[in-house]
Amino acid sequence: MIENFTQNIQDYLKHIYALTETGNAASTNDLAARIGVAPASVTGMIQKLAALRPPLVAYRKRRGVTLTPEGEKAALEVIRHHRLLETYLVTVLGYSWDNVHEE
């Protein structure tokens, strides 16, 4: 599923998941601060993710964004792949845990 997503989309899914783990919607400002982009850029990407079929996010203006069940599944797949790659870098290639995220 995530093979068709750009790195940018994968990053947004991962960050939205992290911000919404407590059950609250993520604000565009919080998401923008976490990713390091302008809130307007976040709004554009959120609209793109909401327009996909199936939609990956549910967005309500001024109320934030949450992942749809399909979006949560995709976010968890992204996180799982990243963790597997990090584990490989540490166990096979000898990276330290504090350096693997950058790789």
**Reduced to 3 states, what is the DSSP secondary structure of residue 57?**
strand
At residue 30, the pLDDT reads 94
pLDDT tens track for 23-44:
899 999 999 999 999 999 999 9
**Would you state the torsion angle of the CA atoms of residues 84, 54, 35, 6, taken in this order, to the nearest 10 degrees?**
60
* DSSP H helical ranges for the chain: 7-20, 28-35, 39-51, 69-91, 97-100
| Average pLDDT score over residue span 70-91 | 91
Instruction: Assess whether the previous peptide bond of 54 is cis (omega < 30° from 0).
Output: yes
Q: Residue 62: which pLDDT band, with cuts at 50, 70 and 90?
A: confident
Q: Does the pLDDT of residue 50 top 90, yes or no? A: yes
- Identify the residue with better confidence: 20 or 95: 20
